[in-house]
Structure 1
Amino acid sequence: MPAAPPFPLRKECPPGACDCQRDELLEQWCAQPEATDIRIMRLTREEEKQLIARIEAMASYADLRRIEDRLYQLLGVRLTITPSANGVRTVMGLQIRLAPRPGLCRRTREAVPAAVRRCLASHPEIVYALLDANDLLGGAQP
């Protein structure tokens, strides 16, 4: 049985404050290290702050796609941005979510989409590019 993961782990959330299943994921990793993906546990609070800062500093659609790819490569987390069924008139018309998975803290699940929303609100050209890439713009930009 492995003693500890080869990298620093995110600290535990206070009891009852989170539903991240951190302990269950670590137990599963101890039982089957090669079959358990614990990449999400690499995201410490300090690294989460840096991630939020990077997200808020995005300036283009390419930056958004790069961050989505890096989130999956490094942490195994999928970021999805989809328009709501009622259409997109503002940034609030976009559904921004991190795919749920064991080890992903509730705080992170809320902070990352909020940072993306703040960035998109200050850079509407990224929203236009996102809608255009999904062929939802209909050829007209306001």
Structure 2
Amino acid sequence: MLQAAPIPIRIECPPGACVCQRDVLLADPAGDTRILRLTREEEKKLLAHIDGIASYADLNKLAERLRSQLGVVLRITPSNNEVRSARGLSIVLDELPGLCRKTRQAVPSAIRRSLERHPHIIYAILDAHDLLGPG
């Protein structure tokens, strides 16, 4: 009988370098460990995928897949001030035990770079938040 290979999980960060609470998550038998499937190699693939986002639909699909496959919630909201570029948007991954600090920074940065290359996605985000709607 064939035995399934164990799913690789992210190796722990050096002590003091991260506050991801990986050990606490692994110690909890009821904990959602899906986020630990995001190994460094998988994170590189994710960042490359984000780099290829070309539409608002692609961005929404990415957000849904992050939520369903890893349990990560991506929030993109316009700031209260005028939005002239991707810098005017708040792009955040919600805090989650097991989510590395570097990943919480790398994913929003990659999304911001993609939005800067495709400003029409920024307009779609603003429209979805009814900021370009009829006044």
TM-score (norm 2): 0.92
8 A contact 2:85–2:119 mirrored in 1: no
1:25 aligned residue:
25
2:106 aligned residue:
111
Does residue 1:36 correspond to 2:40, yes or no?
A: no
Q: Describe the SS at the equivalent of 1:82.
A: strand
Give 1:130 shift: 1.1
Question: Match of 1:122, as an amino acid?
Answer: R
Q: What are the residue-to-residue correspondences of 1:53-68 with 2, within 5 Å?
A: 53-68=48-63
Q: Describe the SS at the equivalent of 1:8.
A: coil
1:3 aligned residue:
none
Give 1:77 shift: 0.2
Describe the superposition over 1:44-84 as per-residue Cα deviations: whole angstroms up to 9, x where unpaired.
00000000010011010000000000000100000000011
Runs of 4+ in structure 1 deviating by more than 2 angstroms, as ranges, are none
TM-score (norm 1): 0.88
CA RMSD of aligned residues (A): 1.3
Q: How many residue pairs get matched? A: 130
2-side partners of 1:22 and 1:36: how far apart? 11
Question: Match of 1:42, as an amino acid?
Answer: R
The alignment-based identity, stated in percent, is: 62
1-side partners of 2:82 and 2:96: how far apart? 28
Structure 2: unaligned runs, 5 residues or longer: 1-5
2:12 aligned residue:
12
